[in-house]
Amino acid sequence: MGGFLPDYLIREQAAVGALVAFGVLRVIAAGVACGRQWRIEAVGRWFLFAAFLYCVPQLVDLLTQLYVSRTALAELEGKVTGCAIALFCAPIVGHKLGYE
């Protein structure tokens, strides 16, 4: 059993990493946007674009190396799930804090 992690652990690690990174950064960006009078819709769109760029390396691995893509698929699923949850919940937290 030496040396590999099960798919569910890879998926969970990627999801938690994306959730923390994008959730915290999105709330901080909402605070900065509120202070500088930026449109919050633009901040949301930039974070959607950033989440896409965050997932591109695993997507490229998945598309180019189909025969060894088990790890890339698990990591991509985790990143997409974490980004989706973060980008859904972060505006709610930002609203509660008075930024949005």
Tokens of 56: 């591109």
Could you tell me where the DSSP H helices lie in the chain?
Answer: 7-35, 40-64, 70-97
Written as tens digits, the pLDDT of the chain (100 aa) is 445 788 888 899 999 999 999 999 999 998 899 889 888 889 989 999 999 999 999 888 888 887 667 788 889 999 999 999 999 998 888 888 887 7
pTM across the whole model: 0.83
CA distance 10 to 75: 6
> What pLDDT shows up at residue 2?
45
